[in-house]
Amino acid sequence: MTDIAREMTTLREQLRHHEHLYYVLDSPEISDAEYDAMMRRLQALEAEHPELTASDSPTKRVGGKPREGFVKVAHSSPMLSLDNALNEAELRDFDRRVNDLLEGKSYCYVAELKIDGLSMAALYRDGQFFQAVTRGDGVVGEDVTENARTIRSLPLHAKNRLPAFEVRGETVMNRQAFERLNGEREERGLSRFANPRNAAAGSLRVLEPQITASRRLDYYTYFLFVDGRPALDSHWQALEELARMGFKVNRHRKLCSSVDEVLGFCAEWEGRREELPYEIDGVVVKVDSVEQQRRLGFTAKAPRWAIAFKYPARQAVTTVEGIEVQVGRTGALTPVARLRPVEVSGVTVSRATLHNEDEIERLGLEIGDDVVIERSGDVIPKVVRVHAQGSYRRQFRMPARCPVCGGTVVREEGEAASRCINTNCSARLKESILHFASRGVMNIDGVGEALVDQLVGRGIVQSVADLYDLTTEKLMELERMGQKSAGNIIRNIQNSKKNSLPRVLTALGIRFVGERTAGFLAEAFGSMDRIAGAGLVELEQAEEVGPKVAESVFQFFREPRNQELVDRLRTAGLQFEYRSAKPKGGPLGGLSFVITGTLPTLSRDEAKQLIEGAGGKVNGSVSKKTNYLVAGTDAGSKLDKAHELRVAVINEKQLLDMTKQG
Ligand code: IVH
């Protein structure tokens, strides 16, 4: 082996090792920067030596190609579902049946948490991941290989020498990723996913692998199969083997020698389910011995050797004692049910969101009614339906005046929300400041609810721009504020000026303009002033900007108060220019590029920045409008498409030469 080949092998092994520590065991040992540096080195070596590149290299996760649709694939053996036991008696019945069928022989159970996700099979050949298939109808599923490849806890290379094997497990979205995704969707005017399970399903079944990658899914395995049958004689051993092979296996599992022990495990986790970062809806109980599983066999749709002990839905019945109205950043009034406090799986719930007037009407809800409430992944519980009408019920009416400032409330034609239209409303101001400072927007640590309440309450801050005029001394006048924390907050505020234009745009809180849209606007126009000055038709030229978004952006910059705010933020020194986009000038001005494959020295991001810095545009897919396809090694369908459409194909060196001209 040459030195280069040896270095590449070592890098691959190290990267796999650190990915396993990070994504599977949740205990990283090196910094992200060190990991990135190793990854970049391997990418560069692979680009120079394509002949030494392994197809299961850690570099092969990202950059999957969009698909036309999903191909149907038959499972090696049916992916069955499970019968349910809804209480202790039903679980004991199950145990009795097992006992009878096994004719008094001793047996053990494996109890595992039943994560609420989507089951998926992943197939490996010679230790390398090569295909992933959703459960589908149990017999035939859909090929989601490219999407599954982006799930970081699914190893692309397994530590096992079997020529072919299959694992089965659950694809899940944890609560945090779920909350983030729903937040982003709401910002963009899209509907929320009802629960993490739907969100996981929606994320796995998208045609664009980049989207799956951004959704941060996880994959927990629970079966190891060879030729459609369990690979080992004991299920417990199979779980241990899966973990050894580098797969993520839920560590909350138990080998039980009696049904009582199983019931103990079920009870324990029913009480502790809140501690978990993902949703569970019960416990799966399986007979451990595969030989005994075979003897027990199957009914038409489920195995006789396993059962799902289901936890009750996290619902409760309680009375709506009142409906309060909250005012959000855009002035939207949200009705919130004030409930007689009730415990739902260990948490006392006293409020539930009702979203808007239409929702209250849909539910047929009046104050005084008994309702069913449910917690399903969201932080705020929701009202599912009216359980019984109250004997003294009172209809809710959206107030005509804002409950915070007394300003006029209007509900525009075609809109679900009623809004306070007073831009000086203190509730709106507080929410705007919190949004401005929040994580992922301007990221100003220390500017939270308590501080904002005081700043707005005392009239110190009357606009987000006032944040930049604050001083340590001024903050020290506030309650419980020492010099050190005040100094830190001021430093964080000053540091926030370095945030890029898309962040600043997001921070303005323009309706329908979340992080993603802000990025496209910055990309298309290159500066705050060009966006502010753009007409509706121009705005709609930007990617993913339709009439609704364009109208909202246009109106925002026509409003004198907003113009004043933007001017003040400019004076404060925030970033109003977008460095990577120079649409007209530069040697690549007016040219459109697509990048594919692995380039010898530049990462995708670097190539993109280089092109944009020279005035060019980078798109995700090849079309007739594409001027150049920049192709590295392992270029796939984009290269075919470029040939088909006669788009010029260049390599990295040619690209570098082009950017230097002019
Ligand atoms: S075993 C034939 N184990 O629950 C055995 N399923 O209600 C089938 N699930 O479709 C599945 N965690 O989506 C099994 N540890 C676990 C599980 C699990 C979650 C899901 C899976 C399955 C459903 C059955």
Q: How is residue 330 annotated by DSSP?
A: T
Residue 454, SS3?
A: helix
Highest mean pLDDT among 191-205, 526-540, 567-581, 615-629: 526-540
Which range, of 419-428, 461-470, 500-509, 565-574, averages the lowest pLDDT?
419-428
Number of compact structural domains in the chain: 5
- 327 and 428 in contact (C-beta within 8 Å)? yes
CATH number for 410: 1.10.150.20
Residue nearest to atom 23 of ligand 1 (CA): 81
pLDDT score for 379:
64
Indicate which atom in ligand 1 lies nearest the CA of residue 303: 2
Q: Which residue, of 581, 613, 634, is where some domain finishes? A: 581
Q: How is residue 263 annotated by DSSP?
A: H
Examine residue 74 and state whether it is found in any structural domain, yes or no: no
Question: What tokens appear for 500 in the block?
Answer: 């890029």
What's the mean pLDDT in 270-288?
Answer: 92
Q: Is the CB of 465 under 6 A from ligand 1?
A: no
- 470 and 463 in contact (C-beta within 8 Å)? no
The more confidently predicted of residues 184 and 654 is: 654
pLDDT score for 274:
81
Q: Which residue, of 256, 276, 310, is where some domain finishes? A: 310
Examine residue 292 and state whether it is found in any structural domain, yes or no: yes
Indicate which atom in ligand 1 lies nearest the CA of residue 118: 13
Examine residue 78 and state whether it is found in any structural domain, yes or no: no
Q: How far is CA 190 from CA 83, 447, 450, 511, in A?
A: 35, 28, 30, 12
Q: Assign 155 a pLDDT band (cuts: 50, 70, 90).
A: very high
Ligand 1 probe mutation, 113, 115, 254, 284, most atoms within 8 A of CB:
284
Residue nearest to atom 19 of ligand 1 (CA): 114
What's the mean pLDDT in 449-472?
Answer: 93
pLDDT score for 62:
57
Q: Is the CB of 80 under 6 A from ligand 1?
A: yes
Question: What tokens appear for 650 in the block?
Answer: 């260049």
Give me ligand 1 centre to Cα 501, in Å: 46
Q: Model's pTM, two decimal places?
A: 0.61
pLDDT score for 657:
85
The more confidently predicted of residues 235 and 661 is: 235
In terms of residue numbers, what domain contains 50? 3-60
Residues 199 and 284 in one domain: yes
- Rounded-to-integer distance, Cα 430 and Cα 421, Å: 15
Examine residue 46 and state whether it is found in any structural domain, yes or no: yes
pLDDT score for 582:
42
Give me ligand 1 centre to Cα 222, in Å: 8
Average pLDDT, the chain: 89
Give me ligand 1 centre to Cα 235, in Å: 14
pLDDT score for 583:
47
Examine residue 40 and state whether it is found in any structural domain, yes or no: yes
- 75 and 223 in contact (C-beta within 8 Å)? no
Residues 293 and 321 in one domain: no
Residue nearest to atom 11 of ligand 1 (CA): 81
What's the mean pLDDT in 471-492?
Answer: 92
Which range, of 16-25, 72-81, 217-226, 450-459, averages the lowest pLDDT?
16-25
Q: Is the CB of 115 under 6 A from ligand 1?
A: yes
pLDDT score for 288:
98
Q: Which of 164, 162, 275, 288 is nearest to 222 (CA)?
A: 288
Give me ligand 1 centre to Cα 117, in Å: 9
Residues 234 and 109 in one domain: yes
Q: Assign 221 a pLDDT band (cuts: 50, 70, 90).
A: very high
Examine residue 68 and state whether it is found in any structural domain, yes or no: no
Examine residue 299 and state whether it is found in any structural domain, yes or no: yes
Residue 561 has pLDDT above 80, yes or no: yes
Examine residue 619 and state whether it is found in any structural domain, yes or no: yes
What is the torsional sign of CA 496, 501, 502, 507? positive
Q: Which residue, of 277, 293, 310, is where some domain finishes? A: 310
CATH number for 12: 1.10.287.610
Q: Assign 377 a pLDDT band (cuts: 50, 70, 90).
A: low
Residue 152 has pLDDT above 60, yes or no: yes
Residue 36 has pLDDT above 80, yes or no: no
CATH number for 641: 3.40.50.10190
As annotated, the active-site residues are: 114
Residue nearest to atom 17 of ligand 1 (CA): 114
